[in-house]
Chain A
Amino acid sequence: MEGANKCILNHVRRHCGTLIVNAGFPRTVMAVTQGTALKTLDVNLSRVFAGGCGKASLSSCSPKVCIVGSGPAGFYTAQHLIKARQDVEVDIYERLPVPFGLVRFGVAPDHPEVKNVINTFTQTAKHSRCSFYGNVNVGKNVSITELQQAYHAVVLSYGAEGNRSMGVPGEDLAGVYSAKDFVGWYNGLPSCRELSPDLSCETAVILGQGNVALDVARILLSPIDILKKTDITQPTLEALAESQVRRVLIVGRRGPIQIACTIKELREMVNLPDTRPDMVAADFDGVKEALKDLPRPRKRLTELMLKTALEVPGEKEQERRSKASRTWGFRFFRSPVEVLAEPGHSRIAGIRLAINKLEGSGDGAQAVLTGEVEDVPCGLVVSSIGYKSLPIDPSVPFDSRKAIVPNTMGRVKQAAGLYCSGWLKTGPTGVIATTMNNSFDTARSILEDMDSGTLDMSAAKPGSQSISALLEKRGVKPVTFSDWEKIDNVEMKRGESRGKPREKLLTVEEMLHVAWT
């Protein structure tokens, strides 16, 4: 029996989480995994006794799920699945060598606390039943169909990498950027490295008044002393140090009561050192009267705006404002109709805005053209009117009007075994916590389908074994989570000498070099 016992021991050691040797039975072992133990021991013991020690694979019984995208949606979906069932194995595929999606590339550098969720994601990634495969382009290196063959369920969580366009003439002029690209630039997204926005103008106009628009405004106007202690990229810091931008207008189609940003971000603008607010009092006509009917969150936000725009400041605040070298302000009831070029040049000289009036009130109020327009001279336009998801693979249904994958509770319509979570599922709005809930809901749908038999779990699936073989054949080498940790350590070390939490690597080549050295 000696040989067989040793074999079991080795096998269990290799594949199971914890190993406890029971003193009462000197040569037997208790393998305490998270639920797989009984089944797999059963299976493998019979193989052991049947024909000696073989390389018994564990692929026979455990449900295997593949997640495409390693941002909050991917990680929260994985977390919920792994926690709910002790036999589920989850593989997360990511196109870049680095994980975490918009937590790394979207959240503003001066909002480090928002990035704390990375700690939770790291715990998930390091769980024995979770594996991370970076540097894998799903849709190019491997198809969705191939993933579906290898896994019991495939979850699409790849978010929204495109952006809504304004659809106006002059949008392609030099000096006009989408907020997605601008944010990608200051956050070190490799594809935005060459953006090099021209900051030699005095006035910048941002279209859109959501939190992303306020992030862009704040980064353009923050004192360098504050930014240089964040994980903002070095090239951005250098560009901002030379920036001539002194005035930022944040423009919205509708009125103050419809503004999409939230109070925390507004308060940050109001309190931004060395800046003063510059609003148009007439934009706020009738707003004070409407206050009493507003729910508390909207009321507080509107009150702060009113105070900032209309109230005569006290002596101290008056002094602070008079010394400020930079201004920011909201402009309401304006929609872009054309970006104007300098005559004979292809550089932007200004933007033509249509003047709107509101029909209706509250959330449902509509902006209606009045026929009047107004030209605003400026040298930088950032369009912050929404991100947009793109189709990944022709075999996946895609609603191009809503720019989402059509689904019901995360189950992709007319596609068995295919699910979606995050912005791809509901559209590109909401903060991390919203995505968390959204992802938990998709995970619940998957678990329901596993329990009910809607998801066919009868046949074993090879999971990452077959996908890794495919990738190797195609010359694609995945980046593991420990490879990412090497990148992480290099970034943090580089940041240390500069007083920053990290100095991000800015190219895929550099990331891969560090990962694989």
Chain B
Amino acid sequence: MALVTTLRRLVQNSLREYSRKASAVTWPTKQRSFSIGTQPLRSDNKVTVNFINRDGEKITVKGLPGDSLLDVVINEDLDFDGFGACEGTLACSTCHLIFDEEMYKKLGPITDEEMDMLDLAYGLTDTSRLGCQICLTKSLEGMVARVPESVADIRQTKDGSS
């Protein structure tokens, strides 16, 4: 019976550790994992990014210049349900992020192609962008990006059947 107690204790301890890690795991689609910028890998080069998740919690991570915000979410294993379904190929709107006015102005120009997909995002605002199209630069240090309520695209026709 000592065996059982020992095992139980061991398993309990390790489970606590494992489940803490496991719950943070998403199903990151590692197709676009590391994208390393052209700068050398020094930590003072990194850009701090703050995400506000759907529960209102602030998550602070770092990324490299040249990384897209989608890259950062994937590399840091951030658990945003359904984020980045098309893996950054401008074929969906699930990496939709909302910024404050000032930061939005710093984000650079938006292409027609991005706007076409962004237009379909749920909860679209005037300061919305797609995370896969925003690339980090030092000037965006400390940026705050809010993950909006839902990831649904709005391409539904109201044909009266639902």
Residues of B near A363 (CB, < 8 A) are 158
A-side interface size class: 35 or more
Determine chain B's interface SS by DSSP, over half rule. Answer: loop
B29 near A28: Cβ-Cβ < 8 Å? no
Q: Please tell me which stretch of A35-43, A63-71, A195-203 contacts chain B, meaning at least 4 of its Cβ atoms lie within 8 angstroms of it.
A: A35-43
Nearest B residue to A263 via CB reads B116
CB of A432, distance to nearest CB on chain B (Å): 7
B159 near A429: Cβ-Cβ < 8 Å? yes
CB of A359, distance to nearest CB on chain B (Å): 16
Provide the A275-310 mask, 1 if CB < 8 A to any CB of B, else 0.
000000000000000000000110011000000000
Kindly identify, within residues 114 to 152 of chain A, every residue whose CB is under 8 Å from any CB belonging to chain B: 114, 116-117, 119-120, 123-124
B29 near A119: Cβ-Cβ < 8 Å? yes
Bound complex: CA A437 to CA B153 (Å): 9
Q: Number of B residues contacting the other chain (C-beta, 8 Å)?
A: 49
Counting CB contacts under 8 A, is A377 at the interface?
A: no
How many A-B pairs have beta carbons closer than 8 Å: the answer is 154
Provide the B71-115 mask, 1 if CB < 8 A to any CB of A, else 0.
000000000011001110111111000000000000000001101
A35 near B162: Cβ-Cβ < 8 Å? no
CB of B75, distance to nearest CB on chain A (Å): 16
Residues of B near A4 (CB, < 8 A) are 3
Determine chain A's interface SS by DSSP, over half rule. Answer: helix
Residues of A near B156 (CB, < 8 A) are 429-430, 434
Residues of A near B12 (CB, < 8 A) are 38
A32 near B86: Cβ-Cβ < 8 Å? no
Residues of B near A204 (CB, < 8 A) are none
Nearest A residue to B96 via CB reads A433
Say which residue of B15, B18, B91 sits within 8 Å of A116 (CB atoms): B91
CB of B74, distance to nearest CB on chain A (Å): 12
Bound complex: CA A29 to CA B150 (Å): 43
Known: A114-B86, A297-B120, A429-B157. A28 touches B7 (CB 8 A): yes
CB of A82, distance to nearest CB on chain B (Å): 9
Counting CB contacts under 8 A, is B61 at the interface?
A: no
Bound complex: CA A211 to CA B157 (Å): 10
B6 near A117: Cβ-Cβ < 8 Å? no
Task: List 16 A–B pairs whose Cβ atoms lie within 8 Å, in order of A's numbering.
Answer: A1-B3, A5-B3, A30-B10, A34-B18, A34-B19, A41-B7, A83-B26, A86-B22, A116-B86, A116-B89, A263-B119, A267-B116, A296-B119, A300-B115, A386-B159, A430-B153
6 extra interface residue pairs, beta carbon distance < 8 Å, beyond A113-B91, A428-B161: A5-B3, A34-B18, A34-B19, A83-B27, A117-B85, A430-B156
